[in-house]
Structure 1
């Protein structure tokens, strides 16, 4: 059965972006491709394979479950996960030969007791989210070194995460770099010599060369989306995702007709509307009503009225479209269609949210070169 609505992912674009980012960071800096949240909505396993093909030495995920799924799919390379809770199945992580992140001595002990051999330590340098607080750094490093000396663990990394690298002028960036340098010095003083030290995400990897250290973690840029919209960087990133559907219905409505729930849009004159079989049940933001555009019949068409659970309505004006005609919600923008970034701006959000939330009943199809 053909898909009435689908996500089309171009794996050639993924490979292009990974290779491009590797060129930007230069030799001596390893690449971690972040594939959490099902590859930012692009499909974790196919994206991971494409990234490995393009030279990514590491894959990054949030949860142990995501890392185990990569192993089940045949990935044998280095994988780091960083979001765990008490009682996590660390034995499975150990058996899968994963690198797991600890934020505290308690967490570190739980991992090692379950047989995890490779642990990375995350320090909070100013995001005030995951990672050890400054007051706990010395104890964490000393405890970790003791475990190394006992032969119970190997500390393979020390790392942190930026709060505002998409805003190059934000004072938090320099403050976090200084804090991370302090953390690395303290780790060295404790006797730790990690394999990798890493701070830079996509935006920092591109815009802050001094933050690259041994490894960069590239997530959103891998998928061809700008990690710092509005900041010049001249990179030829290629969006990999296109969301498209077959038009379900086109019909004329008279002036004064209200469209969709609540009649938040009323036709000012006679017009043709089209019904697109995708809605908030498929991850299309409900807020797109009366704000976003799609591409259909060779032109941009406004979304009219509220987005429904299963469908949305677009304004076709006086043009004639037929059921089955192609509708692109967003894509690379090369044919004139809206991009995920444009949807993000229309909805006052970020491109990350646009691509990671789509799914639901949408089929996902991977292609290799070319988009829908």
Structure 2
């Protein structure tokens, strides 16, 4: 998670919502973590938020009060979510994503024409190719509906997820690309082609971006960057 992107989003939210802004930090701050977001909000002068009971103690320790009123801080600005998921005004200036979902290449192998991938072989190779097994599956919040529908970013290029999404891994068709074990895999977020991928995930899964990021669970370690 990018602290600087969060600070930027909070600043723009305050410009739009005024000094009495109320944030929505329910659902573990949309999966971003109440502690981080509450700290940034308090530093920026926002001291009220809608909270789940389990987040109240953490937010209170940061100096934030729980309120029942609807939030006035746009979740789009606060968390960098696609505007389509919130019904916000089309054409508004985009914001940087606060969260990225990142895995790694576990192994690379050949896949021959006619061979299938993952459970029930929902993908059959039409020609000889190469595939990468990458970390991240429905146990980490990668929705099952994304298999055969979306791509991930490796070394600045996009490669499709093929076959069913498994509990902890996905399979990606990399063709003849120069991809190696331990390479970083970006599912969404970041500065490259996968930056806006949550909008594609919405279309493929039928879920909103807010629902998708809230599904990222405790099995995922969080890392805060500048």
TM-score between both structures, scaled by the size of structure 2: 0.91
Secondary structure of 1:295's aligned partner = strand
- Tell me the distance in 1 between the aligned counterparts of 2:63 and 2:43: 13
- TM-superposed deviation, 1:221: 3.1
Is residue 253 of structure 1 aligned with residue 111 of structure 2?
A: yes
Whether the 8 Å CA contact 2:42–2:62 is kept in 1: the answer is: no
Alpha-carbon distance in structure 2 between the residues aligned to 1:357 and 1:319: 31
Unpaired runs of 5+ residues, structure 1, are 1-8, 81-100, 102-158, 160-198, 202-215
CA distance in 2, matches of 1:256, 1:10: 42
Of the three residues 3, 25, 29, the one matched with 1:35 is 25
For residues 197-346 of structure 1, the aligned pairs below 5 Å read: 216-228=72-84, 231-332=89-190, 334-337=191-194, 338-346=196-204
Contact 2:102 2:184 in 1 (8 A): yes
Say whether residues 1:65 and 2:54 are aligned partners.
yes
In structure 2, the CA distance between the partners of 1:37 and 1:22, relative to structure 1 (3 Å rule), is: same
Unaligned runs of 5+ in 2: none
- Residue 211 of structure 2 aligns with which residue? 353
Q: Cα deviations across residues 63-104 of structure 1 (Å, max 9, x unaligned)?
A: 323212323xx2223222xxxxxxxxxxxxxxxxxxxx4xxx
| Inter-partner Cα distance in structure 2 for 1:22 and 1:302 | 38
For residues 193-215 of structure 1, the C-alpha deviation after alignment (integer angstroms, 9 at most, x for no partner) is xxxxxx5x5xxxxxxxxxxxxxx
- Give CA-to-partner distance per residue, 1:94-134, whole Å, 9 cap, x none: xxxxxxx4xxxxxxxxxxxxxxxxxxxxxxxxxxxxxxxxx
Query: Residue 202 of structure 2 aligns to a residue in which SS?
Result: helix
The residue matched to 1:342 in structure 2 has which SS?
A: helix
Q: Number of residues paired by the alignment?
A: 223
Distance 1:313 1:353, change over 3 A: same
Asked if structure 1 preserves the Cα contact closer than 8 Å seen for 2:14 and 2:21, the reply is yes
Deviations 1:214-267 (A, max 9, x none): xx2433431011344584242342210111111001111100010000000000
- Alignment partner of 2:66 out of 76, 79, 85: 79
